[in-house]
Amino acid sequence: MSVVSTHQDVEALTFSIVSELAAPPARVWQVWADVRQLERWWGPPTWPATFVTHDLTVGSRTHYFMTGPDGERAHGWWHILSVEEPVAVEFEDGFADETGAPDESMPTTRARVELTAIPQGTRMSLTTRFADAQQMAQLVEMGMVEGITGAMSQIDALVTQDAHTPA
């Protein structure tokens, strides 16, 4: 199933991506909560992620980096704003330096993930909100849409693995 739609709304300053996954919401929740599973899909296939810290609790910070094909690293951070296990999580998302400190020269967005049970499994919606149209255009130009689409396309295989196979 995987990614079924993407939508950029310049007036609302949002980008939304919807994925349908062949697993119940509690299983899909684990791809966000379990850092080892998160590493297997966050970041496009050619830019895999490594999480230095990750704690899916309100007020916590996550630090990760993605490694490109030539070994270059792009660091990022999350600040967890709300957690409604196993149906929703909201966080600020931004670029970071190698220590995980926010890079103030780059945009910060707000993301909300919602997991909804459907007959086939779970509909996962990720909506990113931008501060302004310039920020939205900058991140889209940097490849955000292609990156998150590629990343989310990796989740279906992960959640449908045999429950006895280590994630």
Residue 113 has pLDDT above 80, yes or no: yes
pLDDT (tens digit per residue) in 2-27: 899 999 999 999 999 999 999 999 99
C-alpha 139/C-alpha 106 separation (Å) is 9
Helices (H), 5-113: 25-33, 35-39
What's the pTM? 0.91
Strand-strand pairing, 73-84 and 2-9: unpaired
What is 2-159's CATH superfamily?
START domain (3.30.530.20)
The residue behind tokens 């094909």 is 69
Q: What tokens were used for 130?
A: 């931008």
